[in-house]
Amino acid sequence: MNPLAEFPSIGSMLPDSMRLFVRNEVDSTNDEIRRLALAGADDGTVVVADRQTAGRGRRGAAWVCPPGEALAFSLLVRPKEPRALWPRLALASGLAVAEALESHGVECGIKWPNDVWVCGKKICGVLVEAGSDFAIIGIGVNVNVAGFPEELNTSATSLLLETGVPADRAGVLASILRQLEVRRHQIDCGYDLLLDAVRSRCVLTGHRISLLAVDGPRLGFCEGIGAGGELLVSGPNGFERLLQADEVRIQDTRS
């Protein structure tokens, strides 16, 4: 049976603005969307693929998406909002995934800026990339992954592992795309609602964290998420508002 046969049937479940393309194999869904965007594809174009030969996460890290078990897709958006607000798409995307997965039986948190966590483990990664007049939202979700390599056993999970029940990948995709259609339009008007929802799910707030900032490593306490979506950290360097950071890790809980 074609592992992608389930996806074309969800067309009626998607927002009217979205058009779904199904691929057996691509280098990465983000790269495929970029090619379509440069060829003039419309806002709302979605590519889902069963296999990626060069899937990647933030900062070029490899992203493993087991065929038939995980979900890998990308959405093309041509925002009408000012380009200065486009970085907020990262927050909007992580929130949309968290909300969608909650409707499939798990309680989700968000590890700034947009990793989705369940029970302290990563279930989804989001990669947002900008083009000249468009942005790409790439999402990888561990849906029916039954096991992970040893190096990921303590840090990754899936819907199957958390609920004990196989999930319909197409149904999960439809749920996420419906939430994305709502949240992606709140990066300007409605941003306060978006930010409040992200803050309520932030798994870093109140914890001692380590991270790698642009100018070097940091160790301090996460005070929350600022009005612009930045991470608020207090530590030896004082109070800082960080717009970018890598390798963000929880060290322990503030007492």
* Residue predicted with more confidence, 47 or 10: 47
Q: Are 178 and 163 in contact (CB under 8 A)?
A: no
pLDDT of residue 182: 97
Residue 108 has pLDDT above 60, yes or no: yes
What pLDDT is recorded for position 4?
Answer: 66
Q: Which CATH architecture has domain 7-201?
A: 2-Layer Sandwich (3.30)
At 63 the pLDDT is: 59
In the structure, what pLDDT confidence band is assigned to residue 2 with cuts at 50, 70 and 90?
A: low
Mean pLDDT of 187-204: 97
Q: How far apart are the first and last CA of the chain?
A: 54
Q: What was the pLDDT predicted at 64?
A: 62
Q: How confident is the model at residue 180 (pLDDT cuts 50, 70, 90)?
A: very high
Task: Return the structure tokens found at 61.
Answer: 């890290």
Domain ranges in the chain with CATH number 3.30.930.10: 7-201
pLDDT for residue 44: 97
Of residues 12 and 36, more confidence is placed in 36
Average pLDDT over residues 49-69: 71
CA of residue 227 relative to chain centroid, distance: 20
Q: Is the pLDDT of residue 58 over 60?
A: no
Q: How far apart are CA 86 and CA 16, in angstroms?
A: 22
* Ordered DSSP codes for 69-133: TSEEEEEEE---S-GGGTTHHHHHHHHHHHHHHHTTT---EEETTTEEEETTEEEEEEEEEE-SS
pLDDT of 100 reads 98
- C-alpha 205/C-alpha 8 separation (Å) is 40
Given pLDDT bands bounded at 50, 70 and 90, which one contains residue 92? very high
Taking alpha carbons only, the member of 189, 183, 196 closest to residue 227 is 196
- Looking at residue 35, the DSSP 8-state letter turns out to be H
Please give the Cα distance from 164 to 161 (Å, whole number).
5
List, in order, residues 6 or more apart from 40 with CB less than 8 Å away: none
What is the Cα–Cα distance from 104 to 163, expressed in whole angstroms? 9
Q: Give 202's DSSP letter.
A: B
Residue 72 near residue 29, CB atoms below 8 Å = yes
What confidence score (pLDDT) does residue 1 get?
47
Query: Distance between CA 102 and CA 111 in Å, rounded?
Result: 16
pLDDT above 90: residue 255: no
Residue 66 pLDDT: 75
Q: What confidence score (pLDDT) does residue 42 get? A: 97
- Between CA 5 and CA 142 the distance in angstroms is 19
Give residue for tokens 């992606």.
184
Predicted pLDDT of residue 71: 94
Average pLDDT over residues 25-44: 96
Whole-angstrom Cα distance, residue 63 to residue 53? 10
In tens, the pLDDT along 109-143 reads 999 988 999 999 999 999 999 999 999 999 999 99
Of the CATH numbers 2.30.30.100, 1.10.3470.10, 3.30.1370.60, 3.30.465.10, which one belongs to the domain with range 207-253? 2.30.30.100
CATH 2.30.30.100 domain residues, the chain = 207-253
